[in-house]
Amino acid sequence: MILALLFSCNTEGSSSNTDKNDVYEKKGKIADMIRMPVSAVDPVDTVNVAKFDFEETTWNFGTIQEGKFVEHSYKFTNSGTIPLIIKDATATCGCTVPKWPKEPVPPGGTGEINVKFNTMKKTENQSKPVTITANTYPSKTVIRIEGYVIKVY
């Protein structure tokens, strides 16, 4: 019984290890295709990456009454050396909705991230971050919409 246990624990040369290595190899190739600047096997590449150059990263909508919607477009240029690919843009709550370009933005190209904020049940000082995940270094960039909301009675 002990011999059976020892032989069953020997994973050297098993197909499961080979399959795992194939998966890691494929993932590396995919990462190389979109030029992610950071991977587990390669050093950090901070030169040959896409880069956000925003006109502004924070926009203040001033003072408005509760229940209104405010919307703002954050304009940016890809000042990097490869196409900028935005994977995701997320907000901390459902009251803030970002929309971003789904197509790659070429080096020197421009784009916009539109953010819409619903002030319903949001009063006083508001500061809502939107986190953008892209093939930049670092991979996450934060833009912010803020202002003051007056409660309506």
Q: What strand order describes the sheet that includes 86-91? A: 58-65, 140-150, 124-134, 86-91
Instruction: Grade residue 88 by pLDDT with cuts at 50, 70 and 90.
Output: very high
Lookup: tokens for 39: 């991977």
Q: What mean pLDDT is reported for the chain?
A: 82
The string of pLDDT tens digits covering residues 21-78 is 444 444 444 444 454 555 556 667 778 899 999 999 999 999 999 999 999 999 999 9
Q: Which domains does the chain have, with CATH numbers?
A: 52-150 (2.60.40.10)
Q: Is the pLDDT of residue 111 over 80?
A: yes
Whole-structure pTM value: 0.71
Per-residue model confidence (pLDDT) at position 64: 96
Q: Is the pLDDT of residue 19 over 50?
A: no
> Residue 60 to residues 127, 143, 147, 149: CA-CA distances in angstroms?
9, 11, 5, 11
Element (H, E) at 60: strand 58-65
Per-residue model confidence (pLDDT) at position 27: 46
